[in-house]
Amino acid sequence: MNRKRFHNLFFILTIFLFSGCMTIGTVQIEVIKPAKITIPNNARTVLVINNSLTKPSSKFTNDVQKALFKLDTTTTQLISAITTDIINESPRFDTCVLLPDIYFRNPDDLFLQIEWDDITALCNQNNADILLSLEAFGINNSIREFSYSDDYYGLVVTKKMVFTINSMWRIYIPSTKKIMEKRVFRDTLYFDEFHSKDDYYNVITRDEANLYVAKELASVVAMNVADRIAPYWQPVEREFFISPNNNMKQAAIYAYRDQWLDAAELWNPLTKNENTKLAGAACHNMALACEVEGKLDIAEQWLEKAVAKYDNYLSQQYLKIIKTRIKESTVLDKQFGVK
């Protein structure tokens, strides 16, 4: 997964507004979003283990049973690996380490927590501050009917296989011998490729099909788990104004080139223009330049001016977004130990 840096923007689309008098440029940026929970500030290294499966039977009664066990095994390993990769992309932690082995459980121990002596030993061996453990896992599937209306065929009824993936995770803090969180995730994924369970069982015994399903399932689970504990980059679209004014057009070129300081030098004088529509648009654009530079409070001030000068829906909505980001920044400060 490739999550680009916050300031890396690029042009996506330009659409016309107000009968060509004012146009809107659209760029995509990546903003950092807070994790759902706040890990202790002194925790810099995460250790991920797969401790979710019971020991396999010595014999399988048929190929489907063997394939289903392989699916569970492959999926849990991929979940652990992808979760590790995503956490490593977060600026919150120094590193995230994956133990590649599966720690198979005895059936009687399936939902029990790991012994603290074992946790301490694992963390010491890997210089880790916290342990993120996948502790239980199960896949349920069913066939559901879906219907929709088609102008040519009329009512169309189709069947899809629905996977429900249940996973239980614990976050262990060895320094305090506390479980910070025990949480069950339930994720749902639809597969158009399977229209009956017979289709599924016939295909799942093939290695390439087994791996394909495992990757699809693992990607969904891993994202939700990693984003719960680690702040993450999220791509978002932002819109800004362009007008026939030469400086506005040149500033847009700078913006598309990611030269936001140059663009701001052209927008700033226009914020005092006698044409309130142009001035408001320039204020809106200054807010975007400030957001790119991480100056959210100043972006809010520019948007308040934009709404006052040029009361348009775009600036009103952007102001709400910036206010939300300011609230999130308070949470991020705590998660990064800034305040």
**Does any domain span residue 37?**
no
pLDDT at 35: 96
Of residues 311, 339, 70, the one with CA closest to residue 210: 70
Compute the CA torsion angle 222, 178, 118, 214 (nearest 10 deg). Answer: -10
Q: pTM for this structure?
A: 0.82
**Does any domain span residue 40?**
no
pLDDT at 157: 76
pLDDT at 38: 94
pLDDT at 297: 97
Question: How far is residue 234 CA from its own chain's centroid?
Answer: 6
Are 135 and 51 in contact by the 8 Å Cβ rule? The answer is yes
Q: At what angle do helices 276-292 and 313-335 cross, to 10 degrees?
A: 20
Number of separate domains in the chain: 2
pLDDT at 182: 96
pLDDT at 55: 81
The answer for 294, left when phi > 0, alpha when psi is -120 to 50, beta otherwise, is left
Pair type for strands 45-50 and 130-150:
parallel
Please tell me whether residues 224 and 287 are part of one structural domain: no
- Domain range for residue 124? 45-230
Give burial (CB, 10 Å; 0-12/13-18/19+) of 115: exposed
Please give the Cα distance from 53 to 37 (Å, whole number). Answer: 26
Please give the Cα distance from 11 to 166 (Å, whole number). Answer: 39
The residue from 203, 230, 257 where one domain ends is 230
Q: Which residue do the tokens 């250790």 mark?
A: 47
Of residues 155, 182, 152, 153, the one with CA closest to residue 169: 182
CATH at residue 85:
3.40.50
pLDDT at 339: 61
pLDDT along the chain (339 residues), means of 10: 40 37 90 94 95 82 90 96 96 95 84 94 96 96 82 77 95 96 95 89 93 96 95 95 94 95 97 95 98 97 95 95 97 87
Please give the Cα distance from 291 to 116 (Å, whole number). Answer: 45
**Does any domain span residue 4?**
no
Please tell me whether residues 128 and 192 are part of one structural domain: yes
Percent of the chain as helix, strand, coil, to the nearest 5: 45, 30, 25
